[in-house]
Structure 1
Amino acid sequence: MEIVFILFFFLVGTILGSFFNVAGLRVPKKEPFVAGRSYCPKCRQTIFWYDLIPVLSFLYLRGRCRHCKTRISFVYPAVELATGLLFSFSYIKIGLSAELIIALALVSMLIIIFVSDLHYMLIPNRILLFFSPIFIVLRIVQPLHPWWDSVAGGLIAGVLLAVIIIISRGGMGGGDMKLFALLGIVFGTEKVLLAFFLATLIGALFGGILLLFKIVGRKQEVPFGPYIIVGALLAYFYGNEMITWYFNLV
């Protein structure tokens, strides 16, 4: 029975991952993404359902549009596959509980933000505003222990990022600040600070590698959102173990 649930969450995740791709691309452009049909961004031809099967359609079409043969970004199937794997992992790690709903909502939000920030270097307010009441209600239903840690986490994360933005004179964006404030509500104080540390560390390491191999220039802007997402997921799923290990070490 366990494998059935794992496969179920994987399939649901891949299907939703396809929708998250569309949302991440269209929300920043204020285009409709619920009722509007999918289309090729190059030839503008409508994409029919049989070319929208997650991952499989990409493989069948060999990564090209059926109509104009333009190469389809590998980001599309990668996001679908990643969402499926993260949904399955959330179930494996947490099990069937109220916290699982929070985990799935968190993964969903972060995937949409990943797509948006990767393409436009923008974390849309509309996405954060949509998920904010969901997380607030879910944290009321499934509170942290102590419950006030959600409030403290949101305030501390928001203030910390605001100070960094002021000191760095725009080195980080307002979207990063709002995202971390929302993560603070979900994570609590310790885990959101851990998420910030991990995001900064991962960003510095990958940024150094990109500079070393001259993939990006020294003054070239790169999206920080993907590093926040990786740090946030690590802190959410493994934060307790990391914090315990650190305090045992010192």
Structure 2
Amino acid sequence: MDIVYSGVSFVFGLILGSFYNVVGLRIPQQTFLSSSRSACPACNQTLRWYELIPVLSFILQKGKCRNCQQSISILYPLVELLTGIGFLLSYLHLGLSLDLWITFSLISLFSIVLVTDLRFMLIPNKILLCFLPVFILFRVLQPLEPWWSSITGAIAGYGLLALIIIVSRGGMGAGDMKLLGLLGIILGFPYILLAFFIATIIGLLSSMIMMLKSGFKAKQEVPFGPAIILGALITFLFGDYLVEAYLNLIWYGK
């Protein structure tokens, strides 16, 4: 049965990843509720069903539109593949449990924000509001110890970035602030601080890679939203191990 559930998790992730591409592209443009079918952004040709198969269509079409031969953004199959692999690894690590569904939700949020932040440098409020009741429900069904840790985590996450924004005079976006506050509901306090620390490292590495690619010639803004969610995901799955390893390192260092 593990093989079946693993396969279902991967395929489920691929399909949802394709949907998250649509969500991430349409919500910032206020076209999510539009009844129009998916089309090539270059020639506006409506896509057929066999052009919408996650990852496989991109490979078979060699990354190009069948109609105009315009290159298709690598972001589409990347989001699909990341979501599929993320769902698969989550099942293998957690099995069938409530934590698995929490992880699925975090990966889903990551996939959508990856699209919106990379394409538009934006984390729409509508997306955060959709996940807010889901995260609250998870913490009602499986409260943290103590239960008010979710509240303090949300306050700490929101307040930390609010302070950074004030001190840096806009060095970070309000969307990042709301996002960290939302994730605080799941992680609680003080783990939301660990998530932010990990996110900062991921963001720094991403900035260095972009600087190397540009030859240090241009100052480029780096989307921080995906790094925040990735930091939260790592903390949710491995936070206890990381804290224990850190404490052991300090203890043996004395």
List per-residue Cα deviations over 1:12-69 (Å, max 9, x = no partner). Answer: 0000100001110111111125743111111111111111011111111110011111
In the superposition, the TM-score normalised over structure 1's length comes to 0.95
Structure 1 letter corresponding to 2:111: I
Aligned twin of 1:240: 240
Give the counterpart letter for 1:91 in structure 2. Answer: Y
User: Per the alignment, do residues 2 and 217 of structure 1 end up closer, same or farther by CA in structure 2, a change over 3 Å counting?
Assistant: same
Asked whether 1:171 is paired with 2:171, we answer: yes
| 1:84-109 CA distance string (max 9 Å, x none) | 01111111122111222211111111
Give the secondary-structure state (helix, strand or coil) at the position aligned to 1:68: coil
Who is 2:42 aligned against?
Answer: 42
Q: Conserved in 1, the CA contact under 8 Å of 2:106 and 2:229? A: no
**1:79-134 CA deviation, whole Å, 9 max, x = no partner?**
10110011111111221112222111111111101111011111111100111011
- After alignment, is 228-237 or 88-97 more displaced? 228-237
Q: Does 1:131 align with 2:93?
A: no
| Deviation sequence 1:184-242 (CA, Å, 0-9, x none) | 00111132111100111121233134324435655332211232233222212211110
Distance in 1 (CA, whole Å) between partners of 2:226 and 2:109 is: 12
1:57 is aligned to 2:57: yes
| Cα distance in 2, alignment partners of residues 13 and 247 from structure 1 | 36
In structure 2, what is the Cα distance between the partners aligned to 1:108 and 1:229?
A: 10
Of the structure 1 ranges 126-135 and 142-151, higher mean CA displacement relative to structure 2 is found in 142-151
- CA gap of 1:39–1:216, structure 2 versus 1, over 3 A, is farther
Please tell me whether the aligned partners of residues 114 and 229 of structure 1 are also in contact (alpha carbons under 8 angstroms): no
The farther-off stretch of 58-67 and 221-230 is 221-230
Measured in 2, the distance between the counterparts of 1:216 and 1:76 equals 28
User: Which stretch has the larger CA shift, 138-147 or 149-158?
Assistant: 138-147
Q: TM-score, normalised by structure 2?
A: 0.93
Pairs within 5 Å for 1:1-250: 1-32=1-32, 35-215=35-215, 217=217, 219-250=219-250
Distance 1:145 1:20, change over 3 A: same
1:225 partner letter: G
Give the C-alpha shift of residue 145 in structure 1: 2.0
For the structure 1 residues 27 and 249, does the alpha-carbon distance in structure 2 shift closer, same or farther, using more than 3 Å as the test?
Answer: same
Where 1:29 maps in the other structure, the secondary structure is coil
Preserved CA contact (<8 Å) 1:25 1:115: yes
Rounded to whole Å, the distance in 1 between the matches of 2:243 and 2:93 is 18
Contact 1:22 1:33 (C-alpha < 8 Å) held by counterparts = no
CA distance in structure 1 between the partners assigned to 2:44 and 2:182 by the alignment: 36
Structure 1, 27-36 or 65-74: larger mean CA deviation: 27-36
Give CA-to-partner distance per residue, 1:143-181, whole Å, 9 cap, x none.
122221111100111101100000011110000000000
Identity %: 52
Q: State the SS of the aligned residue for 2:28.
A: helix
Name structure 1 gaps, 5 residues minimum.
none
SS in 2 for 1:189: coil
